[in-house]
A and B are shown apart, each in its own frame.
Chain A
Amino acid sequence: MKRAALTPWLFLAPALIATCLLVLGPVLETLWLSLHDVVLFRPQVRPFVGLANYVTALHDHTFWDGLGRSFVWVGAAVGLQFALGLTAALLLNRQFWWRPVARALVVIPWALPSVIIGLVWTWMLDFNLGIINQVGVDLGLLSGPVPWLAQPSTAMAAVILAITWQGFPFFCVTLLAGLQAIPREHYEAAAIDGAGAVRSFRYVTLPGLMPVMSTALLLRMIWVANSLDLLLVMTGGGPGTSTETLPLYAFLTAWSGANYGYGSALAVLLTLLLLAVVIFYAVRSGK
């Protein structure tokens, strides 16, 4: 009996050990750093400061501004990715002769490294030499070139456009798998009951997709909330601080500012905020 109880733990042991080393260790290290005044170029002096870094963060207007921008960033980016991904999935679920090619092409943005995507979009949006301005002006859509990444009113939208392009294939592929799992008989039954395309989508497709959809949305929300690579490459948080989200602020504080203590506290606060989403996801997936 005792041995039987031990067996599952033995099987789980490799994964548990790896998780402890690769996840729990860095998390504990970050927590420890956040309670100290750790400046990278002063390795001999690392005084314990308790919760002082957290108190500073709560009185730091850059923290609150960054948090506000993070909500905009996550809401807009995930919302647009989802809308585009769902549309693409519905189209790719239809029969047409080059569907296999289309399915392969749609995955390309997802397969590209973020830094490459950031550089490509930076040049496409470039004021002087970018193709978006050139085409926009040639077609009469723009009265003149627009410095998309250099003005606060457009910089965030421009980076959201880039991450939408990068992230929509995730929703597309996931939702396409969900669509194909919906039994054809449900649609046939709906059609017999007189449901048109819209009602069939509302009463058959959406409920059938719901489990996949909510899982995909939760996962993507966490990823986008943590991501900073595109922002770093395309604007560096600027102009000014107009695209500086909370993770980017934490990164710049730790990496560029060499202040690992405060940067860690910012990262822990972000983690606590995301924990709510994680708990919701864990409870939901446990059902």
Chain B
Amino acid sequence: MKRRTLLTGAAALGVVAPLARPHAATPVKVRWWYHFDDPTASPAGLVQAFEKAHPGIKIEAEGIPWGGGSDYDTRLYTAIIAGNAPDTAMVKFQNQPRLMEMQALVPLDKWISAWAGKSDISDDLWRLTRAPDGKMYYLPLQYVVLYLYVRQDWFAKKNLPLPTNFENFLSGAEATTGDGHWGFGMRGGPGGHDHWGSLVLGNGAKLEKGGLITPKALAANRWFIDLYRVHHVFPPSAPNDGFVQTIANMKAGRTAMTIHHIGSANEMVKALGDAITAVPVPRGADGKGWTDFGDGSNAIFAQSKNQEAAWEWLAYLSSGEANVIFNKLSGQVTVTKSGGAHWDAEPKRFLDATVESLPLAHVLPPTPQTADFTRTVWPQTTQKALLGQVSPDDMMRTFEKLFYGD
């Protein structure tokens, strides 16, 4: 009988004991989606360091394939619709309008205003990341500004100045074209709107109503198409070339120039050494230019039941040393002033070109049409214009209609 009582008591204790544990002993789980250009890079070290400092929070980091952006975005949208969104995810400015339309985002203003790390991020980045409704839905995490890679040895050999404007860009491209080499590695496949933006939006076209079909804008686009059709300074494969091809051609010594960002600087230097450098993209006669501001931020989703814990994780990732480590993994540039002061991930000339390009940096219009433009409309229409299937002017009219209607 006594033994029976003891067993019953032990069993009862076993059932009740977990209920008696303090609540904090069960960590809050935060699901976070990320993507790195290098699929072998892992944020496991950052997760471990954060969890050590925040024992009440467990981070479940899920690497999601980027697929040029469309794979990642569509997976995110479908996860949100299915009610299975992560608590937080890496996001880009171009998908903000769609996420806002889905009412999927949580404003971060209350956390940002009380955050000690706020002043360590430049005012320019806060301005660029602010949503059209004036609220902050994104917390800056990384950034890049596109610049022009140049084979400085080829330019020196021909006694040419490094390109600063559209005239010496063209003369440089023509002089370095020939004998199996091409002056500029143009990306005609998806994602190539970055190149087009620097060569057309920087040369007179504007992303505003009517701004793509002004005489100046049409002339700039004709000049761009002529680079391929008349001057032949792009490789013949340009209409179908993607990121991998343009970078591979540059590294293999096939092209004299291309446009990308600091994320590829180390592999360029590994292949070409001091022969390669970077300068800001060409400027127009008015001294203005256009280059793409490649943003990367984190956002918290309205579905999340762990928003406070998610914010702790995001604030950590955008702070000082953690942000430096993160950006060495992602191949982009730290958003913190303290981290930028001792940045040594790439040779200095590439960081200099990035910083010098900041005054030219812009983002595409924050509208729901932008994603369709970059994914489908831009590549299809531009490829047709490069191949002579539509005129350069009709190409611009197609873009104008997409963004601003008839």
Contact = CB atoms under 8 A, between A and B. Distances in A.
Interface of A: 40-44, 126-129, 145, 147, 149-152, 155, 235-241, 252, 255-258
Contact of B189 (A145, A155, A238, A255): A238
Interface in B244-296: 245, 248-249, 252, 254
B240 A128 contact: no
Contacts of B372: 256-258
Nearest to A149: B240
Contacts of B70: 255-256
Nearest to B99: A41
B74 A255 contact: yes
Nearest to A238: B383
A42 B103 CA distance: 9
Contacts of B245: 126, 128
8 contacts: A40-B81, A41-B368, A128-B235, A129-B248, A129-B249, A129-B252, A239-B240, A239-B386
Given A41-B102, A147-B235, A237 B241 contact: no
Interface in B355-376: 368, 371-372, 375-376
B74 A150 contact: no
Nearest to A241: B380
B389 A43 contact: no
Contacts of A257: 372, 375-376
Contacts, number: 96
Nearest to B374: A256
B365 to A, nearest CB: 16
A239 B386 CA distance: 9
A150 B371 CA distance: 23
B331 interface: no
Nearest to A243: B240
Given A147-B236, A252-B376, A240 B102 contact: no
Interface of B: 70, 74, 77-78, 80-81, 98-99, 101-103, 188-190, 235-241, 245, 248-249, 252, 254, 368, 371-372, 375-376, 379-381, 383-384, 386-387, 389
B376 A256 contact: yes
Contacts of A236: 189-190, 379
B192 to A, nearest CB: 11
A93 B235 CA distance: 46
Contacts of A129: 248-249, 252, 254
Looking at B248, B375, B383, B386, the one whose CB has the most chain A CB atoms below 10 A away is B383
Contacts of B389: 152, 240
The 5 closest A-B pairs by CB, nearest first: A127-B237, A41-B98, A150-B240, A147-B237, A240-B384
A129 B255 CA distance: 12
A40 B235 CA distance: 37
Contact of A256 (B74, B101, B235, B381): B74
B269 to A, nearest CB: 20
A145 B236 CA distance: 9
A129 to B, nearest CB: 6
A259 to B, nearest CB: 9
A155 B237 contact: no
Contact of B387 (A44, A240, A258): A240
Contacts of A239: 188, 239-240, 383-384, 386-387
Contacts of A147: 235-237, 239-240
